[in-house]
Structure 1
Amino acid sequence: MDKSVMTKSFSERAKDRLYEAWDAWKPGYADWVAWSNELYHPDAEMIAMSGDAPEVFSAYQSKMKGFRDAYDMEMGVIERCIVADGVTAHTYRMSMTPKGAGPEATVVIPVTEFNHFADAPRVRQADGRQAGTGDRGVSVMRIIDSQLHLGPGQIDTTLASMDALGIDSVLVDEFWARHPYGHPDFFEPGRRLPGGAWRSAFPTAETAALLHEDRFATVVRVDPDDDGLSWLVPALAAEPHVKALRVLPTWSEGAARAFAEGSCDRLFGLAADVGLPVFVYTPGRTALLRGYLRRFPALTVVIDHCGMPQPGLPVPSPSAEPGDGRTHPFDAVLSLAEHGNVALKWSHEQVVFGSEQYPFLGTRPHLRRALDAFGAERIMWAGDHTALPGLRWSEVLHAVRDNPELGAAERHAVLGGTAERILRWTPGAGAADGVDPA
């Protein structure tokens, strides 16, 4: 056996086994029986077709023959998992469609299983140690929403929504109102400095992170014209809840020209020095990032909102990479993947790719192209539902979580693993050493 497996705790090995098995699930009855015999103990208990009463797996397996003859069945991803006292408890959803019927006839059934394992190599030499689960349990897949706008009075309701959806953590970009003083680059809360720059404030995000350090963290908007950058950036990096900086350098034509000429060099250099990644929103103008990626190879840059042009912005539609009928504007974004210090935030995809009806099927080919270019380890999901009127948080999450075209490893990386690594955000660990996305 692999020594690295032997050093894992029972809870880690059990979750690994579930995770791997779920990726290899078989829909046909005979294949499913062989698959399930490798995973489940005959005496495992589950609550599924029996309503609220548990039944042993051997009885459930026999009963499933009739169901599988009558229905096409698809098993959803594991949503929650707890390991305690040598037993795993996990939940998922099963979709059932009568044979020959259309998708409108599909019903979705929640399933809860309480399981101990058959003699599988990954877990048979359990060492009896168990991971602490806390009040909320341990998620097989840590889900991090890497952009959420938050304001006063919204912490408790946001937490309740997160718990309901199975979202473990969110990165808060505090946002109250737009354009104080009529300036397109200024977003409240914050204040205008004597030199004319804007310095953001983030009282709600900071409060949320102090009260719930594993659930909330902060990305701080920084004005590259702030005269205090030399002390501000290190001071922000010293705050455990500040995980990244954010800049919107092409929000006006003048700002875009300045960005092309290096207006963010000082900010990017300071961020690289302290190990803070920088989220950069340059809709339709990602080509302007290339020089920065070359000049600051130690800096992790995250391209916001797929890097694509968006309707309704105060800056005219893109001039840097408009597409010509033969190439797609997304091609320019994907071409930046050759730089190992850049990652992509998969967000606003419904708007920028023109697919705004759940489950946003038109976005899937673009996500696959992004995965092929960047790799899942350099793509992080953001719902940003607070900036997308008409779209529900649950919809933007499930569109990725339940995307059947994603492998399990890809899903884990996009929905949380990439953000966890780039933001150096491990639950209960406080500040950690930075890791770039290369």
Structure 2
Amino acid sequence: MEHDVEIVDAQIHLWQGGGAPQHHRQTPFLVEEALAEMDTAGVDRALNCPAIWDPRANDYAAEVAAQQPDRIASLGWFPLEGEPAPREVDRLMERPGMLGLRFVLAMPDLAERLATGDLDWVWERADELELPVALMVHPAQIPLVGDIATRFPATRLVVDHLGVLPFLGLPEAAAHLDTLLKLAQRPNVAVKASGVPSMATDLYPFESTHEVLRRTLDAFGPERVFWGSDITRMPCSWRECVTAFAEELPWLAGDDLALVMGRAVRRWVGWL
């Protein structure tokens, strides 16, 4: 790659067990394979979102981070069923390499609890600790992210995948974009430009996605847009995920490129 910038992937999943959903690879993705592929792709660091389908994924994330602290860190999770348990946040943050939280809230049961405020105890504790919190939400939930950001201003929120659901292609995939871009008014909200090739209607360099990316960068600025691959469900190589941003977007260059490709997410999650 011709650009001398640090490349930090804002989202990968590492796991050891089975049970992956059909849109992800069906075999475990272990750190040894991840590091080898990162070296080939030119990825310096990766932010692991421990797979929610593997109940031991947080344990594995802590083991990996202890072994590779300069290359892998994590945003962890815990089950949200049951009574409020703020101590769960503290326990998770005591694990090696845990920089913050990440939850998938698009499922109907959790979507309802998010809407009713039953999960406010999580955001309250994250706010007290000034943590980054990444959320995968249904597009209909995006206004609720703005509400959380307003009520808990010390929480650094991140919307995964530009709010795009994994099974949708353009233009349907970005039908919510205007709603997402309104969140740019909240200084404690950022977005992951992760999994972008999955919504493309064309092959590399995925020009069908460029207008969505351009509008997102214009709204949030490069300090709050984080490139990521979500590589285990991508229709292309990790290298192509990198170069689709770093070499194929002529309007993304210089300091802006360095921010989007890694510097900004490291600042946001405190991986310094």
The bucket for the TM-score relative to the shorter chain is 0.7 to 0.9
Q: Does 1:219 align with 2:144?
A: no
Does structure 2 retain, via aligned residues, the 8 Å contact 1:173–1:220?
yes
Tell me how far 1:201 sits from its aligned partner: 4.1
Query: Alpha carbons of 1:355 and 1:155: their partners in 2 closer, same or farther (altered >3 Å)?
Result: same
The residue that corresponds to 2:187 in the other structure is 340
Q: What does 1:282-361 correspond to in 2, within 5 Å? A: 282-285=137-140, 286-311=142-167, 328-352=175-199, 354-361=200-207
C-alpha separation between the residues in 2 aligned to 1:356 and 1:272?
Answer: 41
Task: State the Cα deviation string for residues 95-125 of structure 1 (Å, max 9, x = none).
Answer: xxxxxxxxxxxxxxxxxxxxxxxxxxxxxxx
C-alpha separation between the residues in 1 aligned to 2:130 and 2:79?
Answer: 18
Q: What does 1:398-409 correspond to in 2, within 5 Å? A: 398-402=243-247, 403-409=249-255
Q: Does 1:151 align with 2:15?
A: yes
C-alpha separation between the residues in 2 aligned to 1:164 and 1:271?
Answer: 36
Tell me how far 1:239 sits from its aligned partner: 3.2
Q: What does 1:113-152 correspond to in 2, within 5 Å? A: 141-152=5-16
| % same residue | 29
TM-score using structure 1 length? 0.55
C-alpha separation between the residues in 2 aligned to 1:330 and 1:224?
Answer: 28
Q: Which of these two proteins has the greater Rg computed from alpha carbons?
A: 1
C-alpha separation between the residues in 2 aligned to 1:264 and 1:77?
Answer: 45
C-alpha separation between the residues in 1 aligned to 2:161 and 2:44?
Answer: 21
Task: State the Cα deviation string for residues 279-303 of structure 1 (Å, max 9, x = none).
Answer: 0111312122122111111111100
Q: 1:188 aligns with which of 53, 58, 64?
A: 53
Q: 1:274 aligns with which of 110, 129, 147?
A: 129
C-alpha separation between the residues in 1 aligned to 2:136 and 2:245?
Answer: 22
**Letter of the 1:391 counterpart:** C
Q: 2:39 aligns with which of 158, 163, 166?
A: 163
| Structure with the larger helix share | 2
C-alpha separation between the residues in 1 aligned to 2:202 and 2:62?
Answer: 33
Does structure 2 retain, via aligned residues, the 8 Å contact 1:149–1:387?
no
Task: State the Cα deviation string for residues 337-392 of structure 1 (Å, max 9, x = none).
Answer: 1011100000122233x33511011111111111111110011111011123x321
Task: State the Cα deviation string for residues 150-207 of structure 1 (Å, max 9, x = none).
Answer: 12372222111111222111111222xxxxxxxxxxx3322xxxxxxxxx64232222
Task: State the Cα deviation string for residues 402-425 of structure 1 (Å, max 9, x = none).
Answer: 122212111100110111101111
C-alpha separation between the residues in 2 aligned to 1:282 and 1:217?
Answer: 22
Does structure 2 retain, via aligned residues, the 8 Å contact 1:224–1:266?
no
SS across alignment from 1:404: coil
C-alpha separation between the residues in 2 aligned to 1:361 and 1:174?
Answer: 30
Query: Alpha carbons of 1:255 and 1:174: their partners in 2 closer, same or farther (altered >3 Å)?
Result: closer
Q: Which shows bigger deviation, 154-163 or 364-373? A: 154-163
C-alpha separation between the residues in 1 aligned to 2:95 and 2:34?
Answer: 22
Query: Any unmatched runs of 5+ in structure 1?
Result: 1-75, 80-140, 176-186, 191-199, 313-321, 427-438
Does structure 2 retain, via aligned residues, the 8 Å contact 1:237–1:274?
no
C-alpha separation between the residues in 1 aligned to 2:216 and 2:194?
Answer: 12
C-alpha separation between the residues in 2 aligned to 1:406 and 1:275?
Answer: 30
C-alpha separation between the residues in 1 aligned to 2:83 and 2:224?
Answer: 32
TM-score using structure 2 length? 0.86
SS across alignment from 1:337: helix
Does structure 1 retain, via aligned residues, the 8 Å contact 2:78–2:88?
no
Q: Which shows bigger deviation, 354-363 or 221-230? A: 221-230
SS across alignment from 1:78: coil
- Number of equivalent positions: 255
The residue that corresponds to 1:260 in the other structure is 115
Q: Does 1:246 align with 2:95?
A: no
Does structure 1 retain, via aligned residues, the 8 Å contact 2:63–2:96?
no
Does structure 1 retain, via aligned residues, the 8 Å contact 2:14–2:57?
no
Tell me how far 1:240 sits from its aligned partner: 4.5
Q: Does 1:77 align with 2:2?
A: yes
**Letter of the 2:66 counterpart:** L
Compare relative contact order (CA 8 Å, sep 6+) and give the higher one, 1 or 2: 2
C-alpha separation between the residues in 2 aligned to 1:262 and 1:225?
Answer: 13
C-alpha separation between the residues in 2 aligned to 1:360 and 1:202?
Answer: 33
Query: Any unmatched runs of 5+ in structure 2?
Result: 17-28
**Letter of the 2:75 counterpart:** V
**Letter of the 2:271 counterpart:** W
Q: RMSD of the alignment, in Å?
A: 2.2
**Letter of the 2:193 counterpart:** W
